Structure 1
Amino acid sequence: MSVDIRFLPDDKTVRVKPGMTVLDASRKARVHIRTRCGGNASCLMCKVTVEDDGAGLSAPGDNEVRKLGSMIDERVRLACQARAIGSCVVSVPEDPLKAAVRAQLAKQREDDWL
């Protein structure tokens, strides 16, 4: 048996065995999710947003709930802790450095028009 995890905005889908973390699935799909702690839920960098009803992911554990607090209610999960139990869709936030570069380039284009 296998399940599909779809990663947005890359629109990449990967088929994995149930129980695999979203972080490990992202590596298999070649979707970059930032992390520093190697999947120990200590850096909190691997946050993703669940785009569907979340039924395809394991319930948040006590450690994840303590770390994320009210963000859990906003469908935010730690990719290193959320395990696939069914097919699901998650959104990976843009890397802050890439976002800054993109914003700077957009500003330059706008300035060139003036």
Structure 2
Amino acid sequence: MDAEITFWPSGRKVKVKQGTSVLMAARQAGVLISTRCGGNAACFLCKVQLLPNNEVMPMNEVERRKLGNPETAKFRLACQVKVTGKVEVEVPPDPLKAAVARQLAKQQEEDLLW
């Protein structure tokens, strides 16, 4: 049986086999989720937010050690969370792109003053 993942804010969707990580699904969908550790839960760059009513496997021990209590964790590690059905994921903006966007907005604001 397949699982379907929707990535926000892009709205891209992809169908994958159950048990696929959100990170692998993102790569198949062409959605950028930053990572440096190759999916070993070491860099924390792949944090994503799962929207309510998602069909995913519970946190594994590695993810629990990194993020803490599964009931209070706001984010999951895309490299560790495995899908079992329909899933919606909020992908935070890439840190470098976000910094550039802030600088551009600041520059536009300053240009309006002149």
What TM-score results when the alignment is normalised by the length of structure 1? 0.93
The residue number in structure 2 matching 1:84 is: 83
Q: Does 1:33 align with 2:64?
A: no
> Aligned ranges for residues 71-110 of structure 1 at < 5 Å?
73-110=72-109
AA partner of residue 2 (structure 1): D
SS of 2:68 mapped into structure 1:
helix
Q: Does 1:47 align with 2:60?
A: no
* Aligned counterparts of 1:74 and 1:31: Cα–Cα separation in 2: 23
Deviations 1:66-108 (A, max 9, x none): 1012586243100010001011101111111111100000011
Unaligned regions of 5+ residues in structure 2, if any? Answer: none
As a proportion of its length, which structure holds more helix? 1
Deviations 1:38-90 (A, max 9, x none): 11111111100001223x11100111011012586243100010001011101
Q: Does 1:65 align with 2:70?
A: no
The residue number in structure 2 matching 1:113 is: 112
SS of 1:58 mapped into structure 2:
coil
AA partner of residue 18 (structure 1): Q
How many equivalent residue pairs?
113
Q: Does 1:15 align with 2:40?
A: no
Identity of aligned residues (%): 49
Q: CA RMSD in A?
A: 1.4
- In the TM superposition, structure 1's runs of 4+ consecutive aligned residues that sit over 2 Å from their partners are none
Contact 1:7 1:89 in 2 (8 A): yes
The residue number in structure 1 matching 2:3 is: 3
* Aligned counterparts of 1:112 and 1:12: Cα–Cα separation in 2: 35
Farther off after superposition, 104-113 or 65-74: 65-74
Unaligned regions of 5+ residues in structure 1, if any? Answer: none
What TM-score results when the alignment is normalised by the length of structure 2? 0.93
